[in-house]
C-alpha cells in the first residue's frame, strides 16, 4: 500500500469507477469488495492521540467502523467492537489488527435492534476494558428501493431500529457510566441534507441522528461529555453492494463527487480520532462533513 500521507493528487490516490457489479447478501463482507477497501490496515500510522482510552465502536467489523477501530488502536486505545454474528469473519480480522497494535480487543457480536443487547453494550465494553471513554455509534442499515411505494414497513422499521433506536439505547446507557472528558460520536450522512428518493427512509434516520446528537451535546456537556457527528458522503464499504444501492449505481459509485471517486474508510478515520481525542476538547454539538466536496448545509 502506498504511503497515503505522501503528498499526491487526491483525485487519483485511490480507485475510481467504473467498478464491477458485485452483489452480496446483507449486511455484506469487506473481503468481497472489488476493488478492496483501505481501512488503514497497512496505511494508518498512529501518534498516541488516544493513549489509554477505552472505546466501543458499533459496526466495527467493516467499512468506516473498521477504519475507526484500527485507527483508535494505532493511536493507543483499547477497543471493543460490536457487529452481527454473520460478520464474524470480518470481525476476526479487526480483532487481530487491534491486538497487533498492542492493544486489548473485545468482540461483542449481536443484533442492535434487540434493545437488551444494545443497552447492554456500554457496560459489557466497560467491564472488559476497565471503563469506557469513547463511544462511536456507527452501525447502520441501508436498503434501496426503486420507487417510494416499494418501501416496506418491515424495512422502514429495521432501518429505524438499527439507525435511531439503537443509537438512543446505546448512548443513554453509555452516558450513565462515561467519565468527564469522554466523547460520543455518531455517524450521520450527507443524506441528512441531500436525501435520495431511493433511500429516503435511510436519509430520514440520518437527519434524526443529526438532531439527536446536537440535543445530546447540550445535555451531556453538563457531565463534561462531548457529543459530535460525522457525515460521510460516498465511501467504499459493503453497505452499497449488499443492497444499499443498485448494482448500476455500484458500478458508478463515487463518480459524482468532485474527486470522481468514492472515499476510502481510512480517509475519514482521522476525523473520528480528532473528535475522540483531547485535541477536540472545545468541539461539541458539531457535524463534520467528509463528502468528497459536496458539503453539508
Cross-strand pairs, 107 = 81
Would 3 be classed as within a structural domain? no
Would 23 be classed as within a structural domain? no
The yes-or-no verdict on residue 243 having pLDDT over 80 is yes
Q: By C-alpha distance, which of 225, 266, 241, 192 is closest to 31?
A: 241
Query: Which entry of 83, 193, 202, 288 is annotated as an active-site residue?
Result: 202
The yes-or-no verdict on residue 115 having pLDDT over 60 is yes
Would 58 be classed as within a structural domain? yes
Would 6 be classed as within a structural domain? no
Average pLDDT value over all residues in the chain: 96
Annotated catalytic residue 117: no
Would 50 be classed as within a structural domain? yes
Contacts for 108 with CB less than 8 Å, ≥ 6 apart? 56, 80, 81, 82, 83, 121, 124, 125
The yes-or-no verdict on residue 4 having pLDDT over 90 is no
- Mean of pLDDT values over 253-275: 97
Would 34 be classed as within a structural domain? no
pLDDT of residue 188: 98
What are the backbone angles phi and psi of residue 250, rounded to the nearest 5°? -60, -40
pLDDT of residue 153: 96
What band does 8 get if pLDDT is binned at 50, 70 and 90?
Answer: very high
Would 37 be classed as within a structural domain? no
Contacts for 19 with CB less than 8 Å, ≥ 6 apart? 34, 35, 250, 251, 252, 253
pLDDT of residue 274: 98
pLDDT of residue 297: 58
Query: DSSP string covering 36-92, please?
Result: PP--STTT----STTTT-EEEEETTTSHHHHHHHHHHHHTT-EEEEEE-GGGHHHHH
Place of cell 443497552: 119
Percent of the chain with pLDDT over 90: 93
- CA atoms of 163 and 202, how far apart (whole Å): 8
What band does 87 get if pLDDT is binned at 50, 70 and 90?
Answer: very high
Q: What is the pLDDT of residues 47-68, one digit of tens each?
A: 999 999 999 999 999 999 999 9
Residue 50: domain span: 46-290
- Mean of pLDDT values over 128-148: 96
**What's the total number of domains in the chain?**
1
The CATH number of whichever domain residue 179 belongs to comes to: 3.40.50.720
Q: By C-alpha distance, which of 268, 161, 287 is closest to 227?
A: 287
pLDDT of residue 96: 98
Model pTM? Answer: 0.97
Q: What is the pLDDT of residues 170-190, one digit of tens each?
A: 999 999 999 999 999 999 999
CA separation (Å) from 130 to 78, 192, 211, 278? Answer: 10, 35, 31, 20
Amino acid at each position: 500500500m502506498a504511503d497515503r500521507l505522501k503528498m499526491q493528487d487526491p483525485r487519483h490516490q485511490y480507485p475510481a469507477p467504473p467498478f464491477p457489479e458485485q452483489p452480496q447478501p446483507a449486511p455484506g463482507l469487506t473481503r468481497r469488495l472489488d476493488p478492496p477497501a483501505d481501512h488503514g490496515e497497512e496505511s494508518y500510522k498512529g501518534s498516541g492521540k488516544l493513549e489509554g482510552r477505552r472505546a466501543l465502536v458499533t459496526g466495527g467489523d467493516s467499512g468506516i467502523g473498521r477504519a475507526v477501530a484500527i485507527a483508535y488502536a494505532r493511536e493507543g486505545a483499547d477497543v471493543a467492537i460490536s457487529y452481527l454474528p454473520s460478520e464474524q469473519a470480518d470481525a476476526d480480522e479487526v480483532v487481530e489488527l487491534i491486538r497487533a497494535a498492542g492493544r486489548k480487543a473485545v468482540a461483542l457480536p449481536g443484533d442492535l435492534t434487540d434493545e437488551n443487547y444494545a443497552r447492554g453494550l456500554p457496560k459489557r465494553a466497560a467491564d472488559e476494558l476497565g471503563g469506557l471513554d469513547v463511544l462511536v455509534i456507527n452501525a447502520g442499515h441501508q436498503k434501496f428501493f426503486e420507487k417510494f411505494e416499494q418501501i416496506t414497513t418491515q424495512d422502514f422499521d429495521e432501518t429505524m431500529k438499527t439507525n435511531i433506536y439503537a443509537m438512543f439505547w446505546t448512548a443513554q446507557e453509555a452516558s450513565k457510566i462515561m467519565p468527564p472528558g469522554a466523547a460520543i460520536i455518531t455517524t450521520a450522512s450527507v443524506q441528512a441534507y441531500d436525501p435520495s428518493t431511493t433511500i429516503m427512509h435511510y436519509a430520514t434516520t440520518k437527519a434524526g441522528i443529526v438532531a439527536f446528537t446536537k440535543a445530546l451535546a447540550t445535555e451531556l456537556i453538563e457531565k463534561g461529555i462531548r457529543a459530535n457527528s460525522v457525515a460521510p458522503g460516498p465511501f467504499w464499504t459493503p453497505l452499497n453492494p449488499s443492497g444499499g444501492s443498485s448494482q448500476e449505481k455500484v458500478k458508478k459509485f463515487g463518480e459524482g463527487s468532485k474527486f470522481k471517486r468514492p472515499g476510502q474508510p481510512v480517509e475519514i478515520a482521522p476525523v473520528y480520532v480528532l473528535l475522540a481525542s483531547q485535541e477536540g476538547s472545545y468541539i461539541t454539538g458539531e457535524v463534520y462533513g467528509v463528502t468528497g466536496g459536496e458539503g453539508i448545509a
